[in-house]
């Protein structure tokens, strides 16, 4: 049973988590993952890049599994997060579009995947036949030994002739439930800027791990309270909460994400947070209704979207809305076990703060040192 042999190899390498968005060519493999590993089911491939980064910094060994078309969704996150900070990321990609492909839409991007990866300097290994099974070990081992991404492109021919690993009809979770929502909120004219809110939280930190969103939010946190336990993002738009989720799944410490309305509107990670339900995760949505770091252009959340309601709809039950410093302090002090979502309504504006004088490797090294204690 080839799928089982691959899973045996991953277990022997010490892998503890597989984040996955399935491909129909790897149905049996995907069905067996939860029996052997913590399985994090994704709704968008690039969120797996951030989750894997958080798990790696917390000391875990994860593998990201996806269809090769998902690499197109993930390349910026891989380059601006995994490569920039020198983090391991083994990817097992079901390589579509080149072998007995019946779907025309799979061909244009996927046939060019090796050239795309080569142009970006991302190592890749092609796994064609059952005799190549040992190459999977090399993909995973190299990613962790060299602290870099490494993509295993697994052709459908690799799985051909394998014994069925599971029945055609898989048991499916019961979906019978009642969905009831009694929700009413009033938005007041914002009293705080993002910097005001960050300073309130920074003053209250007591051992929590913090992931700060890209751009000015990271610089504002650095100016307010620089700590080894702060992870300052330098790129990888939308990846703050995925990184925080990975950290929360892999670490015992409380994890706080300082995310933004624009970033959270661009991700699909909130249902994954709800499904994984880490009790040690708090997401602080700093909603200034604007893309602050790029000139305060309005987001859809500025006058239409209720970010707290969005979190509720995604399945997160511990939520609240705060609109001044007193309410923020109260929400911070009263938060229980999570996941918790604190929606902070803000006015636009950036503080005049300097750039963070730390190289990406310095940010990673001191963060990991502080995290692992």
Query: 221: closest CA among 208, 234, 202?
Result: 202
Give me the half-sphere count of Cα atoms (radius 13 Å) on the Cβ side of residue 235. 14
Instruction: Mention every residue, 6+ apart, whose C-beta is less than 8 A from residue 138.
Output: 125
Contact criterion met (CB below 8 Å) for 370 and 227: yes
Distance CA(9)–CA(78), nearest Å, equals 24
Q: Do domains 2-158 and 194-372 have the same CATH topology?
A: yes
State which CATH number among 3.20.20.70, 3.40.50.970, 2.60.120.260, 3.40.630.10 fits the domain covering 2-158: 3.40.50.970
Contact criterion met (CB below 8 Å) for 37 and 17: yes
Number of H helices, E strands in the chain: 16, 14
If residue 331 lies in a helix (H) or strand (E), which one and from where to where? helix 325-334
- Helix, strand, or coil here: 300? helix
Q: What pLDDT is stored for residue 167 in this prediction?
A: 45
Rounded mean pLDDT for each run of 10 residues along the chain, 373 residues in total:
92 97 93 95 97 98 97 97 98 96 95 98 97 97 98 95 53 86 93 97 97 96 98 95 98 97 95 98 96 85 93 96 98 94 95 96 98 89
- Helix, strand, or coil here: 275? helix
What residues does each domain of the chain span? 2-158, 194-372
Q: What pLDDT is stored for residue 60 in this prediction?
A: 97
Q: What pLDDT is stored for residue 169 in this prediction?
A: 55
CATH number of 194-372: 3.40.50.970
Q: What pLDDT is stored for residue 168 in this prediction?
A: 47
Query: 154: closest CA among 175, 180, 135, 173?
Result: 135
- Concatenated DSSP letters for 153-172? EE-GGGTTTPPP-S-SS---
């Amino acid at each position: 049973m080839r799928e089982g042999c691959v899973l045996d190899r991953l277990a022997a390498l010490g892998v503890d988590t597989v984040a996955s968005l399935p491909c129909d060519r790897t149905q049996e493999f995907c069905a067996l993952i939860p029996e052997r590993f913590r399985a994090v089911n994704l709704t968008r491939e690039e969120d797996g890049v951030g989750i894997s980064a958080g798990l790696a910094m917390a000391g875990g060994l994860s593998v990201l599994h996806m269809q090769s078309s998902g690499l197109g969704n993930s390349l910026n996150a891989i380059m601006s997060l995994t490569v920039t900070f020198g983090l391991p990321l083994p990817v097992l990609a079901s390589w579509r579009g080149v072998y007995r492909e019946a779907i025309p839409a799979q061909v244009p991007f996927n046939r060019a995947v090796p050239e795309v990866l080569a142009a970006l300097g991302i190592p890749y290994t092609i796994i064609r036949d059952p005799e190549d099974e040992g190459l999977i070990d090399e993909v995973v081992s190299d990613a962790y030994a060299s602290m870099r991404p490494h993509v295993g492109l697994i052709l459908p021919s690799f799985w051909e002739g394998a014994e069925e690993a599971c029945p055609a009809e898989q048991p499916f979770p019961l979906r019978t439930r009642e969905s009831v929502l009694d929700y009413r909120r009033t938005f007041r004219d914002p009293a705080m800027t993002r910097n005001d809110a960050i300073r309130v939280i920074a003053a209250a930190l007591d051992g929590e791990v913090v992931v700060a969103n890209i751009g000015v939010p990271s610089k504002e946190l650095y100016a307010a309270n620089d700590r080894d336990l702060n992870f300052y993002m330098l790129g990888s738009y939308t990846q703050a909460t995925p990184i925080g989720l990975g950290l929360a799944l892999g670490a015992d410490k409380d994890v706080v994400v300082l995310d933004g309305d624009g970033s959270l509107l661009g991700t699909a990670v909130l249902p994954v947070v709800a499904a994984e339900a880490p009790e040690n995760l708090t997401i602080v949505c700093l909603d200034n209704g604007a893309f602050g770091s790029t000139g305060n252009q309005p987001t859809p959340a500025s006058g239409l979207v209720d970010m707290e309601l969005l979190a509720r709809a995604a399945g997160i039950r511990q939520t609240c809305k705060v609109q001044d410093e007193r309410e923020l302090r109260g929400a911070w002090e009263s938060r229980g076990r999570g996941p918790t979502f604190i929606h902070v309504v803000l006015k636009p504006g950036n503080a005049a703060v300097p750039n963070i004088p730390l190289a990406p490797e310095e940010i990673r090294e001191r963060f990991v040192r502080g995290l692992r204690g």
